[in-house]
Amino acid sequence: MSLVLGSLLLGLGIFAIKPAPALGQNNPAHRSCVANVAQDLSRLMDRPEWQRGRWGVQVVRLRDGQVIYERDSDRLFLGASNIKLVTTAVALRFLGANTTLDTVVSSDGAGAALNRVRVQGGYDPTLSYTNLEAIAQDLYRQGIRSIQTLELVAGESVDMGIEPTWAWEDVEFGYITPITKLGVNQNSFHLLATPKDEGEPLTLTWRQTPPSGWQVKNETMAIGPEDTEWIDTRIDPENRVITIVGKLRAHSEPENIVRPLPEKLIPDYLKNQFSQAARAAGLSVADIKLVATDQPLNRVLVRHSSPGITRLVDRINQDSHNYSAEMVYQAIGAGDGDRLATYLRDLGLDPTTIVMVDGSGLSRQNWITPRALTQLLLAMDRSTVVSEFRRSLPIAGESGTLRHRFRDTPAQGQLQAKTGTLRGVTALSGYMDPPDFEPLAFSIILNQGGTPSPDLRRGVDQVALLLMGLRQC
């Protein structure tokens, strides 16, 4: 089983991450008459193990929005990564499926020696050091040989990179990284850990050009098949040392390690990445500094484009990619509450039913109602970008964050939904095609602190499977 280590997709922990046990043939969908569905669902959700928590559910018929079942659907819940449904829907509808997020390089003059060159970030979540090398090579091909001052526009202030309502553990363990208008390699360290013989240290290699002056301290070991795998990282910014500790099973598959940089290191990190790329291309740069401005200089030299919004939305929903969600959220101007409210009204939603302070759902000050989620799903099903939106959602038992869930059940291949998990929170919202009923849009949210996430997921999955067994009778 693959171990996801420190990635922005699922987070960096000090323990092995395993999927919740699948609900297989021993747990088939309960067949329920639509007339009895309220009674059947209440019996399930009113079990003693859920009495400390709250369920929020709404299920509607896809063709006309008729409510099949609801429970506290107008109350606000912590929706975790179901917030990404709002981010991606707004991006597709109002930025446009083919829109790109551009990094613009401009200058205040012409010739081989330039006084100022400005690199304007566009919230591209895919911008990498390799892209910087390509940009620098493009400048060299244009005949540019020296730059007096290279200005990097990363936002009004790099201090805005950490949303103050994110949980410290989410930042520390790698669920999210500082968000800047101009970010490189997801503002993170990327390494590959390859286990060899048992008892020997793992082989650690950089998956990016190493930041200048940084060293890696290896405190890892390959272990036997019965031992527990885990990986953790420690950063010493004063001495520029990143320490990798932990164990992986001997001769198992290599694992990616993605460790977000501490916020205070971002300015020097960005300068370092651009300096290395320029030097590799043969450009002389006397000074690099961060500036706060929204205006490019008068002559555009290079425009580097991200993949289209459709591909970014795929990454956000399929992999629950937090960094991409936050960058896209900033790109659509969703940090402007008035603008977001306008977008929501244009989608036919009541803005008071959705409270967003970020685009990923990591903040515990994000709130949403199950009704808002089903209304969003209905609106997107009737939109011109329905195929792009539906394609971005994981398929039960087959893809994305649902690839290990609902295997060997009636939901496999017949349920598309966005997952959501925080400590004490599990959510699942999307579309389903029950074999003996018509297509549905649904939102199921369970908020119950103190209960392990796998237990919450099993409860939500049981509700979904009961709905998959709906029939007219």
First and final C-alpha spacing in the chain: 43
Of 34 and 41, more confident: 41
pLDDT at 416 over 80: yes
- Residue 160: predicted pLDDT: 44
Judged by DSSP in three states, 87 sits in helix
d(CA 180, CA 24): 43
pLDDT at 208 over 90: no
Question: How does pLDDT run across 211-270, given as a tens digit for each residue?
Answer: 778 899 999 999 999 999 998 888 888 888 999 999 999 999 999 888 888 888 889 899
- Identify the helix (H) or strand (E) that includes residue 354: strand 354-355
Residue 157, both tokens = 């202030």
d(CA 22, CA 149): 57
- Residue 458: predicted pLDDT: 95
Residue 33 pLDDT class (50, 70, 90 cuts) = confident
**Beta carbons of 360 and 329 less than 8 angstroms apart:** yes
| pTM across the whole model | 0.86
**Beta carbons of 280 and 90 less than 8 angstroms apart:** no
Residue 310, both tokens = 């459709």
In the DSSP assignment, the letter for residue 160 is: G
**Beta carbons of 240 and 213 less than 8 angstroms apart:** yes
260 Cβ contact partners less than 8 Å away, ≥ 6 residues apart:
8, 171, 174, 176, 177, 178, 186, 187, 188, 189
Question: How does pLDDT run across 321-369, given as a tens digit for each residue?
Answer: 999 999 999 999 855 668 888 999 999 999 999 999 999 999 999 999 9
Q: What angle do CA 332, 264, 149 make, to 5 degrees?
A: 75
- Residue 34: predicted pLDDT: 87
**Beta carbons of 306 and 124 less than 8 angstroms apart:** yes
**Beta carbons of 202 and 221 less than 8 angstroms apart:** yes
Of 2 and 296, more confident: 296
Ramachandran area for residue 240 (φ above 0: left; ψ -120 to 50: alpha; else beta): left
pLDDT at 189 over 90: no
- Identify the helix (H) or strand (E) that includes residue 38: helix 37-45
**Beta carbons of 88 and 380 less than 8 angstroms apart:** no
Of 110 and 2, more confident: 110
pLDDT at 58 over 80: yes
Average pLDDT over residues 441-454: 95
pLDDT at 37 over 70: yes
Nearest CA-CA partner of 118 in 156, 88, 147: 147
Residue 30 pLDDT class (50, 70, 90 cuts) = low
pLDDT at 120 over 60: yes
Residue 455 pLDDT class (50, 70, 90 cuts) = very high
- Per the document, the length of the chain is 473
Nearest CA-CA partner of 431 in 378, 379, 388, 387: 378
Sort 161 into a burial class: Cβ within 10 Å, 0-12 / 13-18 / 19+.
buried
Amino acid at 168: W
In the DSSP assignment, the letter for residue 81 is: G
What domains does the chain contain, in order, with CATH numbers?
A: 32-98+333-471 (3.40.710.10), 101-306 (3.50.80.20)
- Residue 377: predicted pLDDT: 98
